[in-house]
Amino acid sequence: MTEQWRVYLSEGKEWCGRPLYEAVLEEARKAGLAGATVFKGRLGFGERRRLRGPTALGLGEDLPVVIELVDSAKALRAFLPHLRAIAPRARVTATPVRLL
């Protein structure tokens, strides 16, 4: 079965001196996952319920980021320990998908 995982992060989070979303994407590539895409949100909130979005100057303030990962359920489950090692607090959703 093919699944789509969404990993919810904040743009300002880092891992080993680089943006966390880049690190997750690179780890997914190294793990051989079929596909991954990073989407930058315009506005959102997380567990603290604090809105994150544009400031009065039009600059982003720790904008939300979503990474979509697509592969077999087995491959994504195998990737989960790598994801948790670098992004332990990330929210992750899993949805079965049908590739066309």
Instruction: Give dist(CA 16, CA 82) in Å, integer.
Output: 14
Domains by residue range for the chain, with CATH? 2-97 (3.30.70.120)
Query: Could you tell me how far CA 63 lies from the centroid of its own chain?
Result: 12
List the one residue out of 78, 77, 67, 71 whose CA is nearest residue 24: 67
Q: Per-residue pLDDT tens for 58-80?
A: 555 678 999 999 999 999 999 99
Average pLDDT value for the chain: 90
Q: Residue 44: helix, strand or coil by DSSP?
A: strand
pLDDT of 16: 95
Q: Which two tokens stand for residue 11?
A: 């743009």
Q: pTM of the full predicted structure?
A: 0.87
Q: Which of 6-10, 36-40, 44-48 shows the lowest per-residue confidence on average (mean pLDDT)? A: 44-48
- In degrees, rounded to 5, the angle at the alpha carbon of residue 45 between the alpha carbons of residues 27 and 86 is 20
Query: Looking at residue 66, what DSSP letter applies?
Result: E
